[in-house]
């Protein structure tokens, strides 16, 4: 599976070749495009090419106290046409047979999202924190949910260009979450694994490609037990996707739009929607440019407080002007610790650390030696949390320079515990 990349068939139309599982263009062309777009990046984590000699570029980049993982969402991903039952009639990522229960039956064994190589990379990246790293960020093509709706009778997104752009405040009567396998909401099992790898290092996810700007909170077993993700709009959007679920979101804030709150997407993935830049009639000319929610995103990281502020802007928005405003719903501010917002089990002792130049890196391991999470604490008093009963090991310090202390035999309690003092 490490080198696997099925070759596309050479016959048939573009959709048939794409659905066969490989690239539509020859390997030399693919390599030329990838070198053009990615040769500025650091060397790949593992440069072993996939089949046909096609290169890879997934890697880590460190800049200004942020550690970025850069991955290839689609290179290793299965073609749904290859792995779903033929009766699903899956074409270009859409199961066009309405009798096939794509929401509940598309998570088939063996379907790949990131692939073993990239999962191993994310595991390694998440566990290793340099002395300069304060926060971690995943950069990828798109997010791990399907944030899109269409009228109930639609069997694919070919109807998107025909949908009327709405006035502000209007709401379509029968839109439902779709099951578009081009999104990274599919396949569900490896999607959940990817979200889990991110939350184990409290990583924020920044992406694009869905043509619809959004800020969401991932869920695996419960809403908001994963991390925060921002999908920025495209600067010239020709495909106006939208998010107008007919059943409004649960647990949304008072006065918030109906399309915000807790939802289940078209693949049974949990998500909480905080804001979406739906296409709206603006009255600006040309309408083809301004009414399709084109724009860009700016994310600001405060390394001291660990706050993350997200603002998605219209194409003509000017963030330097007090008169210019981002899209409705933004800016939004979260904290690094919101990227693993799962409810803690019991009380663990706080750890007070003295003698380090900056707040410590904290790694928590369960009794089987599995990493629960690794993160740089915000301050020198560390509030450790775990999510189940058990015997935990906690490694605290600055591992890159060998200054660490290991605490073993730490158990959660149903009562607050005395803090542990560590001096370096």
pLDDT (tens, 9 = 90+) of the chain, 424 residues, equals 344 445 555 666 777 777 888 788 899 999 999 999 999 999 999 999 999 999 999 999 999 999 999 999 999 999 999 999 999 999 999 999 999 999 999 999 999 999 999 999 999 999 999 999 999 999 999 999 999 999 999 999 999 999 999 999 999 999 999 999 999 999 999 999 999 999 999 999 999 987 899 999 999 999 999 999 999 999 988 899 999 999 999 999 999 999 999 999 999 999 999 999 999 999 999 999 999 999 999 999 999 999 999 999 999 999 999 999 999 999 999 999 999 999 999 999 999 999 999 999 999 999 999 999 999 999 999 999 999 999 999 999 999 999 999 999 999 999 999 999 999 9
Distance of CA 69 to the CA centre of its chain: 12
**Do 229 and 102 belong to one domain?**
yes
Out of 340, 359, 382, a domain closes at 340
- Report whether 339 contacts 168 (CB < 8 A): no
Spatial distance between the Cα atoms of 298 and 296, rounded to a whole number of angstroms:
7
Is 11 within a domain? no
In residues, how long is the chain?
424
**Do 201 and 315 belong to one domain?**
yes
Before 171, cis peptide (omega within 30)? Answer: no
What's the pLDDT at 19?
86
Is 22 within a domain? no
What's the pLDDT at 2?
42
Spatial distance between the Cα atoms of 291 and 339, rounded to a whole number of angstroms:
32
What's the pLDDT at 7?
53
What's the pLDDT at 12?
67
Q: What is the CATH number of the domain that holds 366?
A: 2.60.40
**Do 181 and 240 belong to one domain?**
yes
**Do 230 and 360 belong to one domain?**
no
**Do 215 and 280 belong to one domain?**
yes
Out of 308, 340, 372, a domain closes at 340
**Do 83 and 222 belong to one domain?**
yes
Is 128 within a domain? no
Please choose, from the candidates 364, 337, 339, the residue with its C-alpha nearest in 3D space to the C-alpha of residue 351: 364
**Do 245 and 364 belong to one domain?**
no
Helix (H, G, I), strand (E, B) or coil at 117: helix
Angle between helix axes 115-127 and 188-199 (nearest 10 degrees) is 20
Is 19 within a domain? no
Domain that holds residue 411: 351-423
**Do 375 and 287 belong to one domain?**
no
Q: What is the pTM of this model?
A: 0.95
Spatial distance between the Cα atoms of 12 and 17, rounded to a whole number of angstroms:
6
Structure tokens, 106: 């598309």
Is 117 within a domain? no
**Do 146 and 291 belong to one domain?**
yes
Spatial distance between the Cα atoms of 184 and 191, rounded to a whole number of angstroms:
7
Spatial distance between the Cα atoms of 125 and 69, rounded to a whole number of angstroms:
7
Is 18 within a domain? no
Is 266 within a domain? yes
What's the pLDDT at 17?
74
368: Cβ–Cβ under 8 A, 6 or more apart, which residues? none
**Do 329 and 364 belong to one domain?**
no
Is 119 within a domain? no
What's the pLDDT at 24?
83
**Do 85 and 176 belong to one domain?**
yes
Number of folded domains in the chain?
A: 2
Q: Is 39 exposed, middle or buried (0-12, 13-18, 19+ CB in 10 A)?
A: exposed
Out of 340, 360, 395, a domain closes at 340
**Do 158 and 279 belong to one domain?**
yes
Structure tokens, 57: 């570029």
């Amino acid at each position: 599976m490490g080198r696997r990349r099925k070759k596309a068939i050479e016959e048939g139309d573009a959709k048939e070749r794409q659905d066969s599982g490989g690239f539509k263009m020859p390997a030399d062309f693919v390599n030329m495009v990838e070198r053009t777009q990615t040769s500025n990046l650091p060397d790949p984590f593992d440069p072993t090419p996939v089949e046909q000699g096609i290169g890879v570029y997934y890697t880590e980049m460190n800049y200004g106290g942020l550690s970025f993982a850069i991955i290839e969402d689609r290179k290793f991903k299965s073609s749904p046409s290859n792995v779903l039952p033929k009766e699903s009639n899956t074409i270009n990522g859409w199961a066009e047979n309405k009798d096939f229960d794509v929401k509940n039956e598309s998570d088939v064994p063996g379907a790949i999202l990131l692939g073993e190589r990239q999962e191993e990379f994310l595991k390694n990246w998440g566990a290793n924190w340099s002395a300069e790293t304060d926060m971690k960020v995943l950069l990828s093509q798109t997010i791990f949910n399907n944030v899109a709706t269409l009228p109930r009778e639609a069997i694919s997104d070919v109807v998107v260009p025909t949908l009327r752009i709405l006035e502000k405040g209007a709401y379509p009567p029968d839109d439902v979450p779709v099951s578009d396998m081009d999104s990274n909401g599919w396949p569900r099992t490896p999607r959940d694994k990817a979200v889990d790898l991110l939350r184990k290092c409290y990583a924020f996810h920044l992406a694009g490609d869905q043509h619809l700007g959004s800020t969401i909170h991932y869920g695996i077993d419960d809403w908001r037990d994963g991390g925060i993700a921002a999908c920025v709009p495209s600067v010239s959007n020709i495909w106006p996707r939208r998010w107008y679920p007919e059943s409004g979101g649960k647990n949304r804030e008072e006065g918030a739009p109906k399309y915000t709150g807790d939802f289940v997407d078209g693949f049974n993935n949990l998500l909480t929607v905080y804001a979406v830049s739906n296409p709206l009639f603006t009255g600006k000319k040309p309408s083809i440019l301004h009414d399709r929610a084109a724009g860009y995103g700016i994310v600001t990281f405060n390394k001291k407080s660990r706050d993350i502020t997200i603002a998605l802007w219209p194409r003509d928005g000017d963030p330097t002007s007090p008169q210019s405003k981002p899209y409705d719903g933004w800016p939004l501010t979260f904290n690094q610790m919101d990227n693993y917002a799962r409810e803690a089990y019991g009380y663990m002792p706080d750890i007070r650390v003295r003698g380090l130049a900056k707040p410590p890196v904290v790694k928590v391991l369960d009794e089987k030696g599995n990493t629960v999470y690794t993160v740089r604490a915000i301050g020198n008093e560390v509030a450790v949390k775990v999510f189940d009963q058990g015997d935990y090991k906690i490694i605290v310090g600055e591992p890159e320079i060998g200054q660490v202390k290991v605490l073993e035999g730490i158990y959660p309690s149903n009562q607050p515990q005395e803090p542990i003092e560590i001096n370096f």
